[in-house]
Amino acid sequence: MKKYRLDLAYDGKDFSGSQIQPGKRTVQGEVLQHLSKICNPDSFTFSGRTDSGVHARQQVASFSATIDDLETKAHSLESMTPDDITIKKIKRVPMNFNARYSAKLRVYKYFVKIISNSHPTDRGNHWIIKEDLNLNNLNELSKNFIGNNDYTNYAKKDSTRKTDLVISDAKWIKRNNTYIFTIEGRAFLWQMVRNIVGSLIAVNSGLLTEEDLLKRLNDTSLPRVNHLAPPEGLYLWRVKY
């Protein structure tokens, strides 16, 4: 048996998330269905989970198998996968490589458009909102998420995960008619990025005060922030090793 790294991208619109689930169409389910035709994969692991509707520009998986003529088999896998998944590469890696635990940095991007500047085709890959965004204010607020914080109130509860995390960067830019939020860190909690984006935009819209947004950082006695951005604007953008 040898260890392999698989890099892929996908449009999450028609998937019930990345992780395999009985009776549902998932990215892992589709990949394993076709990967099993060229080898017997074992210990298949993603760099991180993505929720239903969330996209990936670069997702990474690791698995163990024995694959003869890797280049030919990789081309075969590419031709078998559906149009909403792109196999970018497969390569041999050291046996201690693990797509999840070996990752040093994960980068997520969230895309937002104002309804007056949007098109119907934007709805599957942006959050379409009514109000314009105050970038200066959003960037000042985003700075509070950089560094070490307890994100219990900015994620869906999961008792198995450490909630004290370090975020290395969080910022907004506007490119043409699109607002883009980028956040970087080694690890993220379930729905954490969507909760942060939803909360920032709630402050922009007057639905949440800056004080309440900041109070929920580190104060685990308070309830979870009740502003969750929709999944279609979120992309797992890059994973660094």
Tell me the catalytic residues.
51
- Supply 125's token pair: 């890959």
Contact between 236 and 188 (Cβ < 8 Å): no
Residue 70 identity (one-letter amino acid): L
What one-character DSSP code corresponds to residue 224?
A: P
Neighbouring CB atoms inside 10 A of 110's CB total 27
Beta strands of 124-163 (E only): which ranges? 127-129, 147-150
The single residue listed with the structure tokens 């990949």 is 31
Angle at 240 between CA 187 and CA 18, to 5 degrees: 60
The single residue listed with the structure tokens 């937002």 is 112
